[in-house]
Structure 1
Amino acid sequence: MSSGSTEVQVRPGIEADLAPLTALYNHYVRETAVTFDTVVFLPEERRPWLLSHPKDGPHRLMVAQERDSASRPGRLLGYATSSPFRAKPAYATSVEVSVYCAPDAGGRGIGTLLYKALFEALAGEDLHRAYAGIAQPNEPSVRLHERFGFRHVGTYAEVGRKFGRYWDVAWYELPLGPRT
């Protein structure tokens, strides 16, 4: 896969990705209201999260990285996940999805590549709906989700407080798999 002039590899996440995944996520914790985590993580603190996304099943982790060159390993450009929507058993056929791109990789199609690979990987799973919560404002994320067919289903007003202010979260829904 390519994005602009950069060759990009999208693959399932592995344990060796833990440090760069943590560093990428910590950028969003420190600098943005995209996530409502407020304290950065050490890689070991994120290990349970990484391990909760195996290479098969409904809860996946896909990473995008520059293709390796002879001179250096490929840099992590972003990741997408599908995670449990809620803990109760009746929610098992719903997932919450998210995508995070390296700050300098935004607008290059990395999120599109990641979601395309994630939804292709989930195609054979027993899933009915995907949900995405998008802290507002975040027009690039809204556009990405709408491009994949998500539709706005509601907004939680002032649901999270970070950086001394309250933030709304808009919720988006995407039907998955056959309808029953």
Structure 2
Amino acid sequence: MPPEHTEVQVRPGVEKDLDALTAIYNHYVRETAITFDTVIFTPEERRPWLLSHPEDGPHRLMVATETESQQILGYATSSPYRPRPAYATSVEVSVYVAPDAGSRGVGTLLYDALFTALAEEDVHRAYAGIARPNEPSERLHARFGFRHVGTYHEVGRKFGRYWDVAWYEKSLAPLR
């Protein structure tokens, strides 16, 4: 693991990041209920996901790297909230941090960059679903002004049990 004082930079995700991003996501698939995916992905299976997050527009992929080594420490995304046209100004956001990069402020840096980028877009609300319990994620979202709007109880089954998902929202911009 890089030392605590290591510099971190955040930039848009690119295709060369795909292997590392897939490895980070697969950790959460295998080890946690943070995502409700239950089968790991190959990088090729994740390629459409990566390509659905261009460098501009409301659906972004921001990647945090250790400045010197360029090791990927995590990523944040804004994705379509729902497919119907009236939802176009709403996004669902998420953050995934490499298992050895937690508690270093990487999630905060990623959300700072993501919400700065979204400030230039026609995006009105951001939503985040957090499988409970996940206090670090709830604290991160509260730090960015998200408020709890409801909980789906026992909505997902993984690892032989049911999980609740708490939903949070954040206002991003006035109506344009």
Per the normalisation by structure 2, the TM-score is 0.97
SS in 1 for 2:133: coil
1: CA distance, partners of 2:4 / 2:175? 37
| 1:36 alignment partner in structure 2 | 36
Which runs of structure 1 show a deviation greater than 3 angstroms over 4 or more consecutive aligned residues? none
- Cα drift, residue 94 of structure 1: 0.1
- Cα drift, residue 50 of structure 1: 0.1
- Cα drift, residue 179 of structure 1: 3.9
SS in 1 for 2:136: helix
| 1:160 alignment partner in structure 2 | 156
Q: Decide which moves more: 4-13 or 109-118.
A: 4-13
Per-residue CA deviation, residues 118-173 of structure 1 (Å, 9 max, x unaligned), is: 00011010011000000000000000000000000000000000000000000000
SS in 1 for 2:7: strand
Structure 2 stretches of 5 or more lacking a match? none
Amino acid in the other structure paired with 1:59: H
2: CA distance, partners of 1:6 / 1:121? 24
Q: Decide which moves more: 32-41 or 4-13.
A: 4-13
SS in 2 for 1:6: coil
Amino acid in the other structure paired with 2:52: S
Within-5 A mapping of 1:9-88: 9-68=9-68, 73-88=69-84
2: CA distance, partners of 1:61 / 1:127? 15
1:129 aligns with 2:164: no
1: CA distance, partners of 2:86 / 2:174? 17
2: CA distance, partners of 1:18 / 1:90? 31
Provide the aligned C-alpha RMSD in A.
Answer: 1.1
Per-residue CA deviation, residues 71-127 of structure 1 (Å, 9 max, x unaligned), is: xx4211000000000000000000000000011111110000000000001101001
2: CA distance, partners of 1:4 / 1:113? 14
1:113 aligns with 2:109: yes
2: CA distance, partners of 1:45 / 1:175? 33
Sequence identity (%)? 78
1: CA distance, partners of 2:101 / 2:146? 22
Number of matched residues? 174
1:7 aligns with 2:7: yes
Per the normalisation by structure 1, the TM-score is 0.95
SS in 2 for 1:161: strand
Per-residue CA deviation, residues 13-65 of structure 1 (Å, 9 max, x unaligned), is: 00000000000000000000000000000000000000000000000000001
Structure 1 stretches of 5 or more lacking a match? none
